[in-house]
Amino acid sequence: MRIAELLSAVLPAATPWLFSFALMTAFELLLPRDRHSARGRIAGVLFWAIWLPVMAATYAMFRSLWHWIGIEPLLILPLQFRWAGPFAMILAPIAGAAVYDFFFYWCHRAQHRWFWRYHAVHHSIRELNAVNAYHHITEPLFQAVLLLAPASLFGSDIGYLAPAMAVVLHLHASFIHSPTSVHLGPLRIFFCDNRFHRIHHSLEERHFDRNFGAFTTLWDRLFGTVYFPAEDEWPDVGLAEIGQPRGVIAWLTLPYRLRERDDTAPAAVASANI
């Protein structure tokens, strides 16, 4: 892939992330629940600066491969909600995001079950915030196979509202990792918020392998992995056996410094949890 092609792929992919990071970091600084170090945030920004071009290039190659093979959606889901009139502009992106989250839910569970070593990078973060919610450099490869491939078999007819769905997903992904005092209140029954997702990152054994969804609580409720936190429940996060990476080399090599999941001593470590 040439530099110009890479840039043309990176800019559209990076823009919603940058908007989400800026907005949620502002909330974290103005309405904090936890206060985090500048050093941790700077490391997160650096990792994202490396990760986003890799993600954009991987996704672009996936789309090119799918186009070359000629794979088309097997089913088009009717998500335009024409009957809702002007409210369709709200309902359609939300419905599209909820459907996408179904595929993310199972991708996420597969990562915990079979690819924990690499996904553990995301769970090692102890100063969890919008810019610190990074993944390992290999994450786009796993997402291409476990998320994009199956999701590509199901299209939708939301058309011009697709960019709105993308913004919703990116903003929500930053929000659920954010240590801000802002949350969704009673709406968390259906939508994941930062309190709900923090349980997934918790160091407490009773929270392990819970709350895999990133947008809606629906799939966790349906498949028996839901845990609704109490109003004041805000557990410490990270991994007991290894700290979050503070430099690029530590970030890249963390999966290889972890023992295989089956060999990790306590069951609590083995199940440690997005």
- Interval 145-178: pLDDT, tens: 999 999 999 988 776 677 777 888 899 999 999 9
Nearest to 131 by CA among 199, 178, 184, 167: 178
Q: What is the pTM of this model?
A: 0.89
Q: For residue 132, what are the contacts with CB-CB under 8 A and spacing of at least 6?
A: 36, 40, 41, 43, 44, 125, 177, 244
Phi, psi of 152 (to 5 degrees): -70, -15
How far apart are the C-alpha atoms of 169 and 148, rounded to whole Å?
A: 14
**Residue-level pLDDT at 84:** 79
Nearest to 218 by CA among 77, 91, 94: 94
Q: Do 42 and 128 touch, CB atoms closer than 8 A? A: no
**Residue-level pLDDT at 2:** 59
Nearest to 116 by CA among 139, 149, 140, 144: 139
**Residue-level pLDDT at 3:** 59
How far apart are the C-alpha atoms of 95 and 86, rounded to whole Å?
A: 15
How far apart are the C-alpha atoms of 265 and 206, rounded to whole Å?
A: 17
**Residue-level pLDDT at 92:** 86
**How many residues make up the chain in this entry?**
274
Q: Do 254 and 125 touch, CB atoms closer than 8 A? A: no
What average pLDDT values come out for the chain (274 residues) when binned by 10 residues?
A: 60 81 94 90 94 91 93 86 82 90 97 96 96 96 96 82 80 95 94 97 96 97 97 94 93 86 40 38
Phi, psi of 246 (to 5 degrees): -110, -5
